[in-house]
Amino acid sequence: MRGLTILAVVCVAAGGIAACVRKGAEPESAAEGAAQAAGAAVAARVDDARIRNADRESGNWMSYGRTYDEQRYSPLDRIGAANIGTLGLAWYYDLDTAARAQESTPLVIDGVMYVTSAWSKVFALDAATGRELWRYDPKVPGAAGINACCDVVNRGVAAWEGRLYLGTLDGRLVAIDAATGKPAWEVMTVEPGSRYTITGAPRVVKGKVIIGNGGGEMGVRGYVTAYDAKTGQQVWRFYTVPGEPSKPFENPALEMAAKTWKGEWWKLGGGGTVWDSMAYDPDLDLLYIGTGNGSPWNRAIRSPGGGDNLFISSIVALKPESGEYVWHYQTTPGDTWDYTAAQHMILADLTIEGRARKVIMQAPKNGFFYVLDRATGELISAGAFATTNWAKGIDMKTGRPIETAEARYGEIGRPFIAQPGPGGAHSWQPMSYSPRTGLVYFPVMEAVFPYFPDKDFRKRTLAWNTGVDFNAGSLPTDQGILDQIKAGLKGHLVAWDPVGQREVWRVQHEHPWNGGALSTAGDVVFHGDALGEFAAYDARTGAKLWSVATGTGILAPPMTYLVGDEQYVAIEVGWGGAFGLAAGELARDAHIATNAPRVFAFKLGGTAAMPPPGPPPRPISEPPPDVATAATVEAGKATYHRYCGTCHGDSAVSSGVLPDLRQSAYLSQPDTFTRLVREGMLADRGMFAFGPELSAEDVAQIRAYVIHRAHETKRADAAVAEHSGAMQE
Ligand code: CA
pLDDT (0 to 100) of residue 564: 96
Q: What is the CA radius of gyration of the chain?
A: 25
**What is the reported pTM?**
0.93
pLDDT (0 to 100) of residue 357: 98
What confidence tens digit (pLDDT) does each residue in 151-208 have? 999 999 999 999 999 999 999 999 999 999 999 999 999 999 999 999 999 999 999 9
pLDDT (0 to 100) of residue 729: 52
Centroid of ligand 1 to alpha carbon of 223 (angstroms) = 15
Centroid of ligand 1 to alpha carbon of 273 (angstroms) = 9
Is 50 exceeded by the pLDDT of residue 22?
A: no
C-alpha angle with apex 572: 569 to 577, nearest 5 degrees?
A: 140
Torsion of CA 241, 244, 249, 255, to 10 degrees: 60
Centroid of ligand 1 to alpha carbon of 382 (angstroms) = 22
What confidence tens digit (pLDDT) does each residue in 349-389 have? 999 999 999 999 999 999 999 999 999 999 999 999 999 99
What mean pLDDT is predicted for residues 257-262?
98
As a whole number, the mean pLDDT across the chain is 92
Centroid of ligand 1 to alpha carbon of 511 (angstroms) = 21
pLDDT (0 to 100) of residue 28: 43
pLDDT-derived band of residue 249, with 50, 70 and 90 as boundaries?
very high
Give dist(CA 209, CA 160) in Å, integer.
9
How many contiguous H segments (helices) and E segments (strands) does the chain have?
Answer: 13, 39
> Tell me: domain 630-728, CATH 3.30.420.40, correct?
no
Centroid of ligand 1 to alpha carbon of 427 (angstroms) = 10
pLDDT-derived band of residue 488, with 50, 70 and 90 as boundaries?
confident
Is 80 exceeded by the pLDDT of residue 706?
A: yes
3-class DSSP state for residue 350? strand
The residues, ordered by sequence, that sit 6+ positions from 172 with a Cβ below 8 Å of its Cβ are 138, 186, 187, 188, 189, 198
Decide: 570 and 599 in contact? Cβ < 8 Å: yes
The residues, ordered by sequence, that sit 6+ positions from 460 with a Cβ below 8 Å of its Cβ are 642, 693
pLDDT (0 to 100) of residue 1: 32
Q: Which residues are catalytic?
A: 338
Is 70 exceeded by the pLDDT of residue 723?
A: yes
pLDDT (0 to 100) of residue 686: 87
Give me the residue spans of the domains in the chain.
630-728
What confidence tens digit (pLDDT) does each residue in 338-349 have? 999 999 999 999
pLDDT (0 to 100) of residue 434: 98
